Amino acid sequence: MSRKAAVVTLTALAPVSWGSTYVVATELLPPDRPLFTGLMRALPAGLALLAITRKLPRGAWWWKSAALGALNIGAFFPLLFLAAYRLPGGVAAVVGSVGPLFVVGLAALLLGERPTVRSLLAAVAAAFGVSLVVLKAGAAFDLVGVLAGLASAASMSAGTVLTKRWGRPRGVGPLAMTGWQLSAGGLLIAPVALLVEGAPPALDARGAAGYAYLALANTAVAYWLWFRGIERLTATAVTLLGPLSPLTAAVLGWVLLGQALGPVQLLGMALAFGATLAGQRSPDPRPRTFSSTERKAQEVSMDLDGAPVRR
């Protein structure tokens, strides 16, 4: 296996893990507590990673970590759950699957990654394939739910692109960066969860096990793999792994919950998976030509203390 293939495989484990969230939430967790679930996914995982790495942001990385944590976690989770509650599951998944198209546009603006025909076709094909898998006939559309779903996809897309653009400070590994973002996102969710849902629910052994899985494997490890992949792959290639999440959810629903998968669903899975593979085979896009002012700005970075350092 080539080095790139190994990176893609490890990064793909993140959306595969996220695809198990629905089964865990419906089978193990208290009902109707989506914000509390988001909080329990993010904050314990972030604090655990901070304890392991023993590194805190410094200088400009305080606000950068807060911004990335808000986009990737703090805003993304509540908007995602709002869409899930206002829309049928299939519609919410389809709305969220437009994320790769957002990333293609943002990567062109902020990273100089010129979109290719293959990447655009892969993004559209992946969204269409997901729709075949999860969309039911006569599914209802709710404007607030659709807007929330689009906003959640845009939030995660912006976070992915900015994570790629900003990189990480000198001497700080992706594990510490993941801890910063999860902690910031969890702290943002905490007051919203308390105001909307009230006091935390009582947990039995099944609920505790479910939250432990979500915090450790589904969030701490998965987001570390995701952010690690963003460093090593193009933003477009990483986000085109996202459709693996609803595909995994569909397979787990079939295996564990007895949900049916007909010929149309199987065709959609093949199409979405093929588009995901095509997105990884896309050649690296040619960088955008920057002006002299932009090149000069790129030569200056922030060191760990927040002081400008010329490369």
Q: What tens digit of pLDDT does each residue of 107-153 get?
A: 888 988 888 888 888 888 888 888 787 766 555 567 787 888 889 88
CA distance 14 to 11: 6
From residue 93, alpha-carbon distances to 148, 222, 248 in Å are 12, 19, 12
CA distance 307 to 25: 44
The more confident residue out of 301 and 211 is 211
The more confident residue out of 84 and 201 is 201
The more confident residue out of 162 and 81 is 162
Residue 258 binned pLDDT confidence (cut-offs 50, 70, 90): confident
Compute the radius of gyration of the chain from its Cα atoms.
19
